[in-house]
Structure 1
């Protein structure tokens, strides 16, 4: 378009640069660019086409038109968005643009529909995230439930084993009481061989009872010289010690871990021994093998830590006596395996099992007092 043929905007009085983006007032025949006309691009290309564009009127002409009879229209407050001033001559360009844009937004519902669509999309995305989180939580709960079921099964198995052991122990105790009662009855009979047999039977029953007690400790360990601290977590200390031995020990693998005996009289005294019961026997055997490989393992205080099978009180006293006799007679080996006590003089020599104090004389001769 040449400079002579350029149209002048009736709002800003500047030449209209784009020859395709303008409007002509149906009444005053003035030309207006879209900005001064207060018409958006969307409305210009969307709804304001054809006859509507030809019948378009500028703001000044619209304000000059006589008002229709609105006597039946109820009075509305200013909050309803009703313009209280007549005419547009006194309105600034910025307020005029805002007013026209607001009116254009009301006439074109596409913007409102777009906003609603965006909000619905955001809500759907939020629901999707909530659903994914719910599925993750459900999987986590299933995993925890499976672990709890496994733990319940292990506890039930331990309870059944304990009940069976208690039943057998009660049977042995009843038999022992019956034998002792019979012994008391015939104790007045001098020179009777029955008394000797009864004493032998009592000794055998005591050995059997001791072995039953030892079977109940088949998954137990005893740790000596493990440094003791006030307010310590014994289970954590045991897990750390197992890690140093190269054995991965989870807290669920430990039934209990506690110190036994009287606490040290003063700080820095000798640490009490630790008794550990594991949920699986092969873990105990694995820890014992690792402890034998690393015999020089030292605790945090520098003292050597000992890991052994847990023995009954009777077997612990017997093993102590066996070790003393081995040192006295310079026997090289004394050990325990599955609660049983063994000794051997040297490599390739005969292996002896000791079950009672009476076996000391049989194996070592006259024991020291």
Structure 2
């Protein structure tokens, strides 16, 4: 059995190039010759050869068996009258042909109504006045008996179904292995090969595009992986920062608590430090004044004297909402402070002039330093 795959595998690209070039050259020469012949004689050379030599083999006219004047339609087994045959029939019969194209008839109706002594291709009997039928597949002319159909049944089929009618031989399924359609020919193989080559012509470009896409996808994957690593790194840093912030918040809360305690302690210490302090308001301020002498004059005025070593310190401090500065006396002994304040309160009206400030009559107040 002939192995087509082995045959095609043995063919080289040079064979295909030579085959294509040769066929193109022959087709070009035939085309040029046909053009020249048609310009010179007004008809086709191939058509004339077909009518002269192939017509008799196919059972058609052109051999002189049927006179043109005896037939209503010029018989042409290859194709009904078209083109150059129109002029050929006019030259032979001196009348225009009538075809089923002109009357919009089917091939079967044309054969039945305008046949020139047609006969059945199976039994070779001439058609009756009723005519016959023609298979649209094998184009055989059959009478109604060989076609297994009556004339009335044929007419009832309608134009559409009659135009698609097939004989029993064409309707029967052909055997698979010996089917003509399944036979492998060199032309069909070459056609399939050319189709495959045309389909694969853009394959290198597609491969390059796929490679480029793979490269781009690889780079994109690498970029995505880097971005994912960066995101993971940022997440770890954020978690670390959040933990540090949480620790700092705890420390800040502890510091706030400690600060409150320290403020309370400072307030307590300040209050305790002021327990031995006396605030004296209303004493005029002079340059190079001696605060010890002023306190001593005050103690003598109120009638309560005490030694200087009972005083820890004396200083002036600003007063709230006043430009004058008060005198703060810090005693070492709390009881001395209390007795001093009590003696000053017994002396109800105490003025600056009592302390030797003749130019001032403002009152002097002695109180606890709160």
Same-fold status (TM-score > 0.5): no
More helix by share: 2
Q: Which is higher, the Rg of structure 1 or of structure 2?
A: 2
TM-score with structure 2 setting the length: 0.28
Q: Given the two structures, how large is their TM-score scaled by the length of structure 1?
A: 0.28
